[in-house]
Amino acid sequence: MPEPNCQCCGPALPRHAAGGRRGLLCAGLGGLAAALGPRAPARAADPVPHTRLTPDEALALLKKGNDDFRHEEPFSFPHGHKTLEDLSRGQAPFVVLVGCSDSRVAPELLFGRGLGEMFIVRNAGNTVDTAALGSIEYGVGVLGCPLVVVMGHQSCGAVAAALDVVERGASFPGVIGEMVQPILPAVLSARRPNGTIALDDAVTANARRVAGRIKTQSVVLQDAIRAGRLKVVAARYELGTGDVSWLGEG
């Protein structure tokens, strides 16, 4: 007679012998499951009301925050137990920010924002692949963010690497060369009439290009833009001054 299926390990495995070590583990897990009872599927957080900010209001809030940062205004944000408990129930950020992984570019600090306010997608060179685009769409389509900002920055190492590829045929270890490939078109577009390419021009071109491309690649973003619920804006951060310059809608 076949042995009954094990309830803790799944139907593919037979019930373990009561005297074995695995049998004791099975019995222990089964008892724990019975004590906990039926559970709903795990979710990251329960839905909470979306922000009521318009795209323009969200952008104004970022600009005010950066002004305060540049003028060294005192910065603090709620982070006590009550805030953490509230945020554990869900999130309602007001902006998706696509930025660079550079350690000198910390979006929450640059814009004076706290926990739960910014949905941030970061990688070297602020490029957007499938995972990044899906993250952006989640921020807009599920979390209700009314603003997407694509922000490059002064002296970006990833853009500099792409510039080295264009001008000197440079190669890099590992997959760094593959990582900078999406930046090459922006670098080429920044070429001046005399044939030279300035790094700052390439940084600006890259931010603008990424902002423009995510609008054409995402139906989720296109629908939100047509409905007036979303703006996509390119920006550039100056390391030496702390200033964020706004490059217009992508």
Q: Which domains does the chain have, with CATH numbers?
A: 5-36 (no CATH), 55-249 (3.40.1050.10)
Beta bridge partners of 14: 5
Q: Is the pLDDT of residue 212 over 50?
A: yes
Per-residue confidence (pLDDT) for residue 35, from 0 to 100: 42
pLDDT tier at 44, thresholds 50, 70, 90? low
Residue-wise pLDDT tens digits, 163-185: 999 999 999 999 999 999 999 99
Q: How far apart are CA 182 and CA 33, in angstroms?
A: 48
Neighbours of 131 (CB within 10 A): 10
Q: How confident is the model at residue 3 (pLDDT cuts 50, 70, 90)?
A: very low
Q: CA separation (Å) from 49 to 46, 92, 145, 146? A: 10, 7, 11, 13
CA–CA separation, 12 vs 175, rounded Å?
Answer: 40
pLDDT for 168? 93
**pLDDT of the residue at 126:** 96
d(CA 51, CA 64): 18
Residue-level pLDDT at 191: 95
Question: Is the predicted pLDDT of residue 39 greater than 50, yes or no?
Answer: no
Q: Contact at 8 Å (CB) between 69 and 113?
A: no
pTM, full prediction? 0.80
Strand partners, 231: 147
What distance lies between CA 163 and its chain's CA centroid? 25
Summarised one tens digit per residue, pLDDT across range 102-145 is 999 999 999 999 999 999 999 999 999 999 999 999 999 999 99
Question: Using an 8 Å Cβ cutoff, are 51 and 145 in contact?
Answer: yes
Highest mean pLDDT among 11-15, 44-48, 150-154: 150-154
- Residue among 44, 150, 148 at smallest CA distance from 93: 148
Q: Is pLDDT at 157 greater than 60 in this prediction? A: yes
Residue 29 banded pLDDT, cuts 50, 70, 90: very low
C-alpha 137/C-alpha 148 separation (Å) is 10
Degrees, nearest 5: CA angle 81-82-87: 95
Phi, psi values for residue 110, rounded to 5°: -65, -25
